Amino acid sequence: MNMRQNRDSRADLRQIPAVSRILQEAEVQSAIAEHGRELVVTCARDVLNRLRERIRRGEPVAVDAGSVAGQVLEEVYRWRHRTLRQAINATGVVLHTGLGRAVLAESAKRAIAEVASGHSMLEIDRETGERGDRIDHVRDLLCRLTGAEDATVVNNNAGAVLLAVTVLAQGREVIISRGQLVEIGGAFRMPDIIAQSGARLVEVGTTNRTRLSDYERAITGDTALLLRCHPSNFRIVGFVEEVCAQELAELAHRYNLPVLDDVGSGCLVNTEQFGLEHEPTLQESISAGCDVVTCSGDKLLGGPQAGIILGKKPIIEAIRRHPLHRALRVDKLTLAGLEATLRLYLNMDQALREIPVLRALAMPAEQIRRRAQRLKRRLQSSLPADRATVRLRPGVSQVGGGSLPGQELSTTLVCVRPLRASAQQMAHALRWHEPAVFVRIEQDEVVIDPRTLLEHELEAVVTALLSAGESC
């Protein structure tokens, strides 16, 4: 810093108003009335400290009480405004982990609101008034829907696998195919989970081919578990071979060993009806003879985040007694949402109609096209032609969320090309709209896939695009 800047900075530092002066401003006074004195004073100090920093760095800053007060109000707003807020998913990725995976069914939403708003019968036996078990709300349902003998639920599927491997194989060997040593997003790595459980990983086969004989040769007196993991988020094509659940279970049982099948997506329906490939279902895994089956609650199952563990009674009982089961305990809001979602599956037609994940997968091409045309009409009638062009084109939606990788569903995309700004700038404006809208960008166009929009969000998307179109 040279001498001149140094002198100027000192001059400016002296002009910075005192906290007490800022607090006298009328709008700061009303902020105190609304948000409390302590927060507003802290924010004022923070703003003033940042101004001093900027002056020391020689940056030009406004230091009059009015503009400082404005910054203080912004700071107060930032602290008081929720950031975990609603977002509109126009990306066409049905299970978008960044956007919270599965949207819940109305009945699940109502159940969560009800349980959140008062006391609930979470762990109490209505008949006797004695302490009950929170898992009882979903245990019979899970067994009925999947054919499992017993079931429990924890926080998420990563926790479910960690818990099951710990209970079944701590201090001993777990055999897994090299083709299934997967990483699922967010640092779920099968080898790390096995290490964390205190079990020893024994890899068999190769990345693309593993045979039953590979497993059999690896079995020793120290083997505790054969582990299968559904490669949810990638595909190997070509010269590929894996052992199916049934064959693996038969082999394991000949050696008196259990099989754990981590199926991932928790699918209860046949995905071929949506024009997708077959995704392994929970029922199939149970009837193949797997001793323990785990999955997520918030993928294809369409419920809240949870880790579902199904299986043979003695194993599930041991899992439920383990301290990790308590450490990974599922909370009451999750259970309320999961129970309501599972009850929908007792009537499969209702599940397909009311579970948003399934509805999005099942959405007829004609309905998507009508939505796309409606969006295009609304945009073209309001967006000035010199601001943006709007066109429709055929495209693809994705299942996402580590389910059915590489498989695509045909859709009709609405493509908006801003003429005075980049697509990135428009997408940024859409993200800062209330409610925030998330889109795809392709070939410098903002791309909207109507498949993942909820019916009531169509108008909000139009409003957001119009306002983004004006500001871009």
Ligand X SMILES: *Cc1c(COP(=O)(O)O)cnc(C)c1O
The yes or no reply on residue 399 touching ligand X (CB under 6 A) is: no
Tokens of 236: 């190997």
The yes or no reply on residue 264 touching ligand X (CB under 6 A) is: yes
> What is the β-pairing status of strands 388-400 and 223-229?
unpaired
> What is the CB neighbour count within 10 angstroms for residue 100?
16
The yes or no reply on residue 228 touching ligand X (CB under 6 A) is: no
CA atoms of 201 and 293, how far apart (whole Å): 19
**Residue 71 beta carbon to ligand X: minimum distance, rounded to whole angstroms:** 40
Q: Which stretch binds ligand X (CB under 6 A): 1-9, 198-206, 258-266, 365-373?
A: 258-266
Of residues 205 and 264, the one with the C-beta less far from ligand X: 264
Which of 214, 262, 339, 445: binder of ligand X (CB under 6 A)? 262
Task: Verify cis geometry, omega within 30 degrees of 0, for the bond prior to 435.
Answer: yes
Task: Indicate the residue whose CB is closest to ligand X.
Answer: 264
The yes or no reply on residue 229 touching ligand X (CB under 6 A) is: yes
Q: Check: CB of residue 445 under 8 Å from CB of residue 415.
A: yes
> What is the CB neighbour count within 10 angstroms for residue 151?
25
CA atoms of 416 and 109, how far apart (whole Å): 33
The yes or no reply on residue 156 touching ligand X (CB under 6 A) is: yes
Site string for ligand X, 295-334 (x = CB under 6 A): -x----------x---------------------------
Phi, psi of 355 (to 5 degrees): -90, 115
For the CA atoms of the chain, what is the radius of gyration?
A: 28
Tokens of 70: 């404005």
Q: Which H or E run contains 173? A: strand 173-177
Q: Which residue in this structure is represented by tokens 């094509």?
A: 237
Sign of dihedral through CA atoms 37, 42, 46, 51? positive
Site string for ligand X, 174-213 (x = CB under 6 A): ----------x---x-------------------------
Q: Check: CB of residue 427 under 8 Å from CB of residue 419.
A: no
The yes or no reply on residue 398 touching ligand X (CB under 6 A) is: no
Which of 158, 164, 351, 363: binder of ligand X (CB under 6 A)? 158
Of residues 304 and 469, the one with the C-beta less far from ligand X: 304
The yes or no reply on residue 157 touching ligand X (CB under 6 A) is: yes
The yes or no reply on residue 284 touching ligand X (CB under 6 A) is: no
Of residues 283 and 296, the one with the C-beta less far from ligand X: 296
Q: Which stretch binds ligand X (CB under 6 A): 259-267, 275-283, 309-317, 391-399?
A: 259-267
CA angle 226, 229, 235 (to 5 degrees): 140
Which of 134, 139, 230, 376: binder of ligand X (CB under 6 A)? 230
CA atoms of 136 and 349, how far apart (whole Å): 25
Of residues 135 and 328, the one with the C-beta less far from ligand X: 328
Residues engaged in binding ligand X (CB under 6 A): 156-158, 184, 188, 229-230, 232, 262, 264-265, 296, 307, 402
